Structure 1
Amino acid sequence: MHMAVGRHPFPRVLGPAFATLPREVRETHLTRDRSEWVGRGSVERGGGPWSRLIARIFGFPRQAPDVEVRVVKTAVPRGEIWDRRFGEKTLRSQLSATPAGMTERFGPFTFRLGPHVTTDGALQYPVIAGRLGPLPLPGWFGNHPHG
């Protein structure tokens, strides 16, 4: 299977494993200019005080068992900008492939992600490190080597 990966972060970082994902999942990660994906989903959040604080800082949506989800992806020279809307709540980030893997930036926060395809074919991309500007975030901030 041949795919033009160009600036698309997921195929660049996943390499040959990208081809093992279901066709529908691959298509969502091959945006050429702009793509829009709409569906329904659930939002789960932690209940602890740090979890609530972090969710508030980033503007993450409230927990909801069933909510409309809309994701607009826009290809840019350094990756993709994702505008995610959960019900009435919207948040924006930029995903980029880097020599160290993949990063996702929310304003001054940048997270290094560890995307991988699980043995059952699911795509996961856990946070493995974070920074606020040039400062590394402490490990309890959600830095996990495996997600």
Structure 2
Amino acid sequence: MQDAADLAANARRNATPAAAPLFRRLLGADFERLAPRVRALHARDGGGNHQGAATVECGRHWLARLCARAARLPPAMHGPIAVEIAVDARGERWTRRFGRHAMRSRLWARDGLLCERLGLATFGFRIGVEGGAIAWRVARVRALGVPLPPRWFAGVRAREAERDGRYRFEVEARLPRVGLLVRYRGWLDVD
């Protein structure tokens, strides 16, 4: 007859492994082609906290300022950034702190896309590996639940790469007739 300790050990051995991290699931075998620091940032099941520095540029058009506010984008600045990634059963919650401004978003996978809810907008990105980096490109957008033409967002893109042994990011959002909404770039320490 098995005792409680043996039953618990058998249950652990036979347990279904947890789902792969979000970016690993979306990228599949291409995940292994990522540069080491980029792979390390996205390989953790439990998320993480990272510190670094960023530069943020903002658009000047009044519609750019309105859109930036609706999406809770960061203000223009140059200084410290802290990124907290929390993982749960539904996906990941990212909190990016640009100085004192917090930009929060939720990420999850749906229909092969990386979905991100940012303020009043929800984006669906196609992500792929290019030269060891992750490239994000908009495939669909909804604002307040209303679908918008993806071509309006052709100027929204992001890239995560490794350079000089550091994780680097660059995000730019431009809209037709409005121009630049935001551009931010920088680095994070990733173990």
**TM-score in terms of structure 2 length:** 0.65
Deviates more, 1:87-96 or 1:105-114: 105-114
* Greater strand content: 2
Aligned to 2:69: 56
- 5+ residue gaps, structure 1, are none
Q: Which residue of 2 aligns with 1:21?
A: 34
Deviations 1:80-132 (A, max 9, x none): 110111111101111111223210012442110111112x3221212221112
Provide the TM-score with structure 1 as the length reference.
0.81
* Equivalent residue, structure 2, for 1:127: 138
Change (3 A) 1:115 1:55: same
Q: 1:33 to 1:139 in 2, by over 3 A?
A: closer
Matched residue, 1:73: 85
Contact 2:138 2:150 in 1 (8 A): no
Q: CA deviation at 1:26?
A: 0.9
- Report the AA paired with residue 6 of structure 1: A
Query: Match for 1:19: what amino acid?
Result: E
Gaps of 5+ in 2: 1-16, 159-191
Q: 1:5–1:30: 8 Å Cα contact kept in structure 2?
A: no
Report the Cα offset of residue 37 of structure 1.
0.7
On the 8 A contact 1:7/1:77 being kept in 2, the answer is: no
* Aligned equivalent of 2:97, options 85, 99, 103: 85
* RMSD of aligned alpha carbons: 2.5
1:101 pairs with 113, 121, 138, which one? 113
- Aligned partner of residue 58 in structure 2, secondary structure: coil
Q: Tell me if 1:31 matches 2:44.
A: yes
CA separation of 1:60/1:126 partners in 2, compared to 1, >3 Å: closer, same or farther? Answer: same
Q: Percent identity?
A: 31
Q: Give yes or no for contact 1:83–1:91 (8 Å, CA) kept in 2.
A: yes
CA distance in 1, matches of 2:157, 2:72: 24
How many residue pairs end up in the alignment? 142
CA distance in 2, matches of 1:91, 1:19: 29
Query: 1:20, 1:7 → 2: CA distance?
Result: 16
> Between Structure 1 and Structure 2, whose CA radius of gyration is higher?
2
* 2-structure distance, mates of 1:12, 1:5: 12
